């Protein structure tokens, strides 16, 4: 993926500003749909270019925010459609429909905090957007909170690119470490919840 990133930024640096902005917008959308795409680092590089005076930092923030929000909502739409199929009583009869319904209802009530934090949860963004779509969470509020999350994250990335300058690639190490921490944390939460579930079930069987 490092070679892909270098190819993208080399291409981006050689283009007129309008096309560089287009890459920021397009990659910010695409990385939500195809997670291996290094969208965050393209935004950091956009900040670096802004620090050189080649791009405008607020425009980089704005376009990456728009792209990230549209990408989130694209996956939300897919999840929304999948959710209808999964809960169809005549299909996937082996699935625990009642339990899925309870999870969906819980997300509808409490899930917007997760939407607001999604951009900071590297490696889980697509999963989150699909899940909230399957939960049929309110579209307008999902739009708003995903945009807020994207704005905060993209501002942080762009400013980082401006500050670190030609050392912009060092940000990649921090992002990878952060992403690894988030995934490990989520796995720990899943394991803990699974163990609690097993203990509760064993307690009921006794």
The confidence score (pLDDT) of residue 1 equals 47
Instruction: Judge whether residue 93 has pLDDT over 70.
Output: no
Instruction: Judge whether residue 107 has pLDDT over 70.
Output: no
Domain positions in the chain are: 2-168
Contact status, residue 75 vs residue 30, Cβ threshold 8 Å: no
> What are the C-alpha distances in Å from 205 to residues 5, 197, 199, 200, 202?
54, 12, 10, 9, 5
How far apart CA 189 and CA 185 sit, in angstroms, is: 6
> What are the C-alpha distances in Å from 156 to residues 40, 41, 60, 64?
10, 12, 11, 11
The confidence score (pLDDT) of residue 149 equals 92
At residue 39 the predicted structure's pLDDT band, cuts being 50, 70 and 90, is confident
Instruction: Judge whether residue 11 has pLDDT over 80.
Output: no
Task: Among 48-62, 71-85, 89-103, name the one with the lowest average pLDDT.
Answer: 89-103
Q: Is the dihedral of CA 59, 64, 70, 72 positive or negative?
A: negative
Q: Is the pTM here over 0.85, yes or no?
A: no
Instruction: Judge whether residue 43 has pLDDT over 70.
Output: yes
């Amino acid at each position: 993926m490092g070679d892909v990133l270098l190819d993208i930024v080399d291409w981006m640096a050689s283009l007129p500003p309008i096309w560089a902005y287009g890459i920021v917008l397009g990659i910010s959308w695409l990385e939500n749909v195809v997670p291996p795409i290094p969208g965050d680092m393209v935004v950091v590089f956009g900040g670096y270019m802004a620090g050189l005076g080649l791009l405008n930092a607020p425009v980089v923030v704005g376009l990456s925010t728009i792209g990230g929000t549209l990408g989130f909502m694209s996956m939300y739409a897919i999840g929304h459609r999948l959710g209808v199929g999964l809960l169809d009583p005549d299909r996937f009869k082996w699935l625990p429909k009642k339990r899925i319904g309870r999870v969906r209802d819980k997300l509808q009530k409490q899930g917007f905090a997760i939407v607001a934090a999604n951009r900071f949860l590297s490696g889980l963004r697509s999963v989150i957007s699909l899940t909230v779509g399957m939960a049929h969470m309110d579209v307008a509020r999902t739009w708003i909170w995903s945009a807020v999350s994207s704005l905060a994250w993209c501002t942080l990335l762009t400013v980082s690119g401006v500050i670190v300058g030609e050392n912009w690639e060092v940000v990649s190490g921090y992002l990878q470490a952060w992403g690894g921490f988030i995934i490990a944390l989520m796995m720990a939460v899943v394991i803990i919840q699974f163990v609690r579930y097993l203990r509760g079930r064993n307690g009921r069987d006794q």
